[in-house]
């Protein structure tokens, strides 16, 4: 929700920011998948199934994204930021936790359709896709939150390989900016894992809301 507007803020066109962001996502999720495998939370022999429709959807979404008008994409990003701000304000994590484990765990055609559209969205813009994946895995597939988070990281990793390839082919990736962003993401994740502060989680939400408001105002040209 913050990295694409950040890349735009430093001067990258919206379409290049959209592609460059995926370099960081790819490297960050490689670390995440390895960590979950070591903790035996992720089972690649069974958890790959929902990644297949997500990959197909992401390819289509990425192909649409590389052809779209840059100014239109910027407006779409601004609109999505407003939507995601509303989701954050409404505390969706509470909603997900209350419903965890109530859905059927057996894969269905509907689940494949759901993850195709989530992949379509992720391939197109990526912003906030983690929440949609988590909600889909918990509510539609009946996974517990720990397993859902692990599978989410795996699915994003797999479809990002394919969608990133499309952005690279269309020369819409700034590799150096992506690597710098990736380094920051991984270092921040390491800090978050090792220096969690008691009670810090409730303040993170307020910081995120404030940052998103600033980003939205910037995207709508309030700061010139």
Give residue-wise pLDDT tens across range 99-142. Answer: 665 555 566 888 899 999 999 999 999 888 888 888 888 877 87
Please, which pLDDT band fits residue 193 given cuts at 50, 70 and 90? Answer: low
pLDDT over 80 (residue 76): yes
Q: Is the pTM of this model over 0.85?
A: no
pLDDT at res. 66:
93
The Cα–Cα gap between 24 and 131 comes to 18
Please, which pLDDT band fits residue 12 given cuts at 50, 70 and 90? Answer: very high
Q: How far is the CA of 110 from the CAs of 40, 49, 107, 141, 173, in angstroms? A: 28, 13, 8, 10, 34
User: SS3 of 202, please?
Assistant: helix
pLDDT at res. 93:
67
What is the phi-psi region of residue 221: left when phi exceeds 0, alpha when psi lies from -120 to 50, beta otherwise?
Answer: left
DSSP state of 106: S
SS percent in the chain: helix, strand, coil, step 5: 80, 0, 20
Please, which pLDDT band fits residue 194 given cuts at 50, 70 and 90? Answer: low
pLDDT over 50 (residue 92): yes
Q: Which of 36, 77, 29 is nearest to 185 (CA)?
A: 29
The Cα–Cα gap between 213 and 190 comes to 26
- Which single residue is written with the structure tokens 């150096």? 176
Q: For the chain, state the CA radius of gyration.
A: 17
């Amino acid at each position: 929700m913050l990295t694409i507007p950040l890349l735009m803020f430093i001067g990258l066109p919206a379409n290049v920011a959209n592609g460059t962001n995926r370099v960081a996502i790819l490297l960050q999720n490689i670390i995440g998948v390895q960590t979950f495998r070591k903790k035996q939370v992720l089972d690649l022999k069974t958890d790959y199934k929902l990644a297949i429709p997500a990959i197909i959807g992401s390819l289509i979404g990425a192909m649409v994204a590389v052809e779209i008008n840059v100014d239109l994409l910027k407006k779409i990003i601004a609109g999505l930021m407003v939507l995601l701000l509303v989701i954050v304000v409404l505390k969706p994590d509470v909603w997900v936790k209350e419903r965890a484990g109530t859905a059927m765990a057996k894969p269905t055609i509907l689940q494949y359709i759901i993850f195709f559209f989530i992949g379509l969205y992720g391939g197109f813009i990526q912003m906030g896709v983690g929440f949609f994946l988590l909600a889909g895995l918990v509510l539609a597939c009946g996974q517990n939150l720990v397993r859902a988070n692990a599978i989410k990281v795996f699915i994003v990793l797999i479809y990002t390989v394919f969608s990133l390839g499309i952005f690279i082919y269309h020369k819409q990736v700034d590799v150096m900016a992506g690597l710098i962003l990736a380094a920051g993401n991984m270092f921040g994740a390491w800090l978050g894992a090792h220096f969690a502060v008691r009670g810090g989680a409730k303040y993170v939400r307020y910081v995120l809301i404030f940052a998103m408001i600033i980003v939205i105002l910037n995207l709508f040209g309030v700061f010139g």
